[in-house]
Amino acid sequence: MNDEIIKAITASLKVGLDQVKNTLALLEEGNTVPFIARYRKEMTKGLDEEQILYIQKQFDYQVKLKERKENVLKLIAEQGKLTDELTKAVNDCTKLSQVDDLYRPYAQKKKTRAAMAIKSGLQKLADWMLTLPEEGDLQKEASAYVNEDTVKTVEDAIQGAEDIIAEIISDDAKLRWSFKDTINQAGVLVTKKKKDAVDENKVYEMYYDRSERVSQLADHRIMAIDRAEKEKVITVSFTFDEQYLKQEAAKTLLKGQRTIAENEIVTAVNDGCDRLLFPSIEREIRSDLSARAQSKSIEVFSMNLEKLLLQPPLKGRVVLGFDPAYRTGCKLAVLDATGKMLKIAKIFPTKPNIDLAGARATMLDLIRTYHIEIIAIGNGTASRESEQFVTDLIRDNHLDVSYAIVSEAGASVYSAGDIARAEFPDLHVEERSAVSIGRRLLDPLAELIKIDPKSIGVGQYQHDLPEKELSQRLDEVVMKAVNRTGADLNTASPELLTHISGLNSGTAQEIVKFRNTNGRFTDRKQLLKVKKLGPKAFTQCAGFLRIVGGDNPLDETSIHPESYEAAEKLMKACGITKLGEADAQFSESEVKDLGIDSYTLKDIEEAIRQPLRDYRDQFQGALLKSDILEIKDLHVGDELMGTVRNVVDFGAFVDIGLHEDGLVHVSHMSMKRITQPSEVVSVGDIVKVWVFGIDEQKGRVQLSLLPIKEIESRDAAIKEARKNRGNGRPDHKRNSSRPQPSRQPEKKVTMEDASARLMERFGSKH
């Protein structure tokens, strides 16, 4: 391993050198990230999955960077142009893009104006001009390069030399970095609506005539600008002090000296900036902004997905899955406490084929026959009408039943897919959807794992994100969630088993085949009898697969089989006779000589005290209700409870029981200034909200995590502080020694307008 790379990772992650070295060694041996995070803590000193993934990705990147540096230095050396200064500059680079910038002047270019001029033999003329001659005749010098084929006049020769100088200035790495930094700090990005643009719903209205400093662009606005430009609604450009930058570029060549070629060099510099350098830098900045925004959106998506997957299950409840619809009727699925489908039915409580009496009779029969405790209602078409029907039924019949609104995102994808067809070949698509909705309440992780994460609907601008990066990141999140939770070896689906450490789709299918043929697993060691599952895979997966009621009580815990002997010694030394003794005492004097490291010891102690502990139990469960809410019942200032359905850069969407989720803008989340909504809320959180604004006509509600009085008090204090800052303060003039970038006036958009636009753009679908 390269010590320099390891030191760089150590510094960026702020961990010990041994932690990084040991982690990389474990990864090189073929250990999975979840296994290392859970069962090799003594070697990594407790690094979690995200830190291990960071080390893995950074090491791969640094290896690519090192290889690129070596390749570039080799290519430049082959041209005989490698200097000590250039070697140091390349070796000092921390990014691939920096290495490529340094290589630009030496890369072979075939179709540029400069390349054609060089081919015509004008490189020497350009070099002579750049020696900054104080005497002589440029016209006479250029005439020596005139020929009948490619350089027919003196003017052609000078133009060719200028083209070469223009490319030289464009390829100057230090100049590019300096200009890019200047534009990033002081430049302004300007958006204008195209004359013939079609934007019927005025989704992008706030970008019809807008200017904003590049340094202040929020990630979600970058994504919106990119999409609006892609849909040909707006044009995007930059404004900055071009003349000042051109002067700075000219200084790098003229070096404060007088020369007979000054006018030609300045002309070449201006052309190089206008034609090559500025457009190239602008493209890079746009690319960097988009990459940054996309990366942030991917992280928002992954964070939301993780919270959704880790919602605690409703254990031991009989659930009725309710898939709402109009014309085709609502489909019902009765599920037992394990998620097994017991009964399928259909009712018509909604228009146009309404049959309230029949619907009530069927529902009451199912509730009483199967002792249903909770109804899971999908949040799609006809959801609120179905919710009204359910609440009326509960109230009128004094039923001891609760209900919850469940996100249907991805349910149709699952229901029409191969997994659902294989599981329920005799059911219609809508009936499978009812089963999925019910199971999402019973065990969110086990059900959502069957669906492509991109179809779950907890992201922002997900269709504009790079497919490969998004899929990789979401797969990492699924891996982390599944392995932190673990799986019951005797009930887990092939889809769930596929994501367990050390397994893949093939070995997952073999595990299911084995238990179907031989009956339930009674010992973890039986995994070694499964086809295609060898000792290495067993080591990686065994600790994450639990067996309840098996031959060995330790099999139902998160203790790895490799630590069974240590666990048994520990229990014996401390006088513990069975698992689950909450008040079990672990004396230091009794465990000191057992040879168990502190990390493993702590994990074993916790597993002995709580053998069946579910990692998800620490999070909030579904919001269970028994009554409905209508927008006409709301008033500004009302206090409600709701479920966070999606978290995005500008706020969070909260389900309070209306047809559309309400939006809590980021400015209404905390009395303190926060940069990201995720600092305050997560998907699945049950939150107290206050109604901030109501648009009954459009069915929209603006919400706040703060009481209205607190918002008014805070805003008044901010206004007063700004007023006081403006009093008695001198009017500072712009520093004339350094020209400032031009800036177009920003279009003022009120918070209410912005919130309305965002809600119109995303709605409850986000």
Unique residue bearing structure tokens 């009964």: 343
Segments in 542-665 forming alpha helices (H) = 564-573, 588-591, 598-609
State how far the alpha carbon of 743 is from the alpha carbons of 58, 223, 342, in Å: 39, 22, 67
Phi-psi region of 699 (alpha: psi -120 to 50; beta: other; left: phi over 0): left
Q: How far apart are CA 634 and CA 548, in angstroms?
A: 48
Coil, helix or strand at residue 693: strand
Work out the number of other CB atoms within 10 angstroms of the CB of residue 472: 12
How would DSSP label each residue in 273-334?
A: IIIIIHHHHHHHHHHHHHHHHHHHHHHHHHHHHHHHHTPPP-TT--EEEEE--STT-EEEEE
Polymer length in residues for the chain: 766
- By C-alpha distance, which of 260, 256, 287, 280 is closest to 166? 280
What per-residue confidence (pLDDT) applies to 255? 93
Please answer whether residues 623 and 662 qualify as being in contact, where contact means their C-beta atoms are separated by less than 8 angstroms.
no
Coil, helix or strand at residue 76: helix
What per-residue confidence (pLDDT) applies to 410? 86
Number of Cα atoms under 13 Å in the Cβ half of residue 685? 19
Q: How far apart are CA 528 and CA 505, in angstroms?
A: 17
Residue ranges per structural domain of the chain: 3-103, 145-302, 319-442, 498-618, 631-728
Homologous superfamily of domain range 145-302: Tex N-terminal region-like (1.10.3500.10)
**Long-range contacts (CB closer than 8 Å, 24 or more residues apart) made by 463-470:** 464/223, 464/226, 464/227, 464/230, 464/294, 464/297, 465/294, 465/297, 465/298, 465/301, 466/294, 469/294, 469/295, 469/298, 470/298, 470/301
Supply the DSSP symbol for 724. H
Coil, helix or strand at residue 377: strand
Structure tokens that stand for 39 in this block: 């069962």
Please answer whether residues 171 and 249 qualify as being in contact, where contact means their C-beta atoms are separated by less than 8 angstroms.
no
Phi-psi region of 652 (alpha: psi -120 to 50; beta: other; left: phi over 0): beta
Coil, helix or strand at residue 236: strand
Please answer whether residues 226 and 189 qualify as being in contact, where contact means their C-beta atoms are separated by less than 8 angstroms.
no
Give the CA dihedral 551, 552, 557, 559, nearest 10 degrees: -140
- By C-alpha distance, which of 239, 647, 200, 617 is closest to 445? 617
CATH class of 631-728: mainly beta
What per-residue confidence (pLDDT) applies to 574? 80
Options 3.40.50.9100, 3.40.50.300, 3.90.850.10, 3.30.420.140; which CATH number does 319-442 get? Answer: 3.30.420.140
Work out the number of other CB atoms within 10 angstroms of the CB of residue 346: 17
Supply the DSSP symbol for 263. H
What per-residue confidence (pLDDT) applies to 751? 42
What per-residue confidence (pLDDT) applies to 20? 96
Please answer whether residues 363 and 394 qualify as being in contact, where contact means their C-beta atoms are separated by less than 8 angstroms.
no
What per-residue confidence (pLDDT) applies to 79? 95
Q: How far apart are CA 390 and CA 377, in angstroms?
A: 9
Q: How far apart are CA 495 and CA 447, in angstroms?
A: 9
- List per-block mean pLDDT (blocks of 10 residues) for the chain, which spans 766 residues: 83 94 96 97 96 95 94 96 96 94 91 94 96 95 94 96 97 96 97 94 93 94 95 97 97 95 97 97 97 93 92 92 96 95 97 96 98 94 91 94 90 90 94 95 93 83 88 94 96 96 97 96 97 97 96 96 91 84 65 78 90 88 78 88 88 86 92 87 90 88 92 84 66 39 42 47 42
Q: How far apart are CA 408 and CA 418, in angstroms?
A: 18
Element at 245 (helix H, strand E): helix 242-254
State how far the alpha carbon of 262 is from the alpha carbons of 168, 258, 259, in Å: 16, 7, 5
What per-residue confidence (pLDDT) applies to 727? 62
State how far the alpha carbon of 529 is from the alpha carbons of 451, 505, 508, 551, 660, in Å: 30, 17, 13, 16, 52
Q: How far apart are CA 614 and CA 378, in angstroms?
A: 26
Structure tokens that stand for 338 in this block: 């394990």
What per-residue confidence (pLDDT) applies to 675? 81
State how far the alpha carbon of 641 is from the alpha carbons of 307, 384, 645, in Å: 19, 17, 13
Provide CB contacts within 8 A for 701, sequence distance 6+. Answer: 631, 634, 656, 658, 660, 662, 663, 691, 693, 694, 695
Please answer whether residues 76 and 106 qualify as being in contact, where contact means their C-beta atoms are separated by less than 8 angstroms.
yes
What per-residue confidence (pLDDT) applies to 277? 97
- By C-alpha distance, which of 434, 414, 216 is closest to 324? 434
Q: Which CATH architecture has domain 498-618?
A: Orthogonal Bundle (1.10)
CATH class of 3-103: mainly alpha
- pTM, to two decimals: 0.83
- By C-alpha distance, which of 104, 164, 97, 102 is closest to 129? 164
Q: How far apart are CA 256 and CA 265, in angstroms?
A: 13
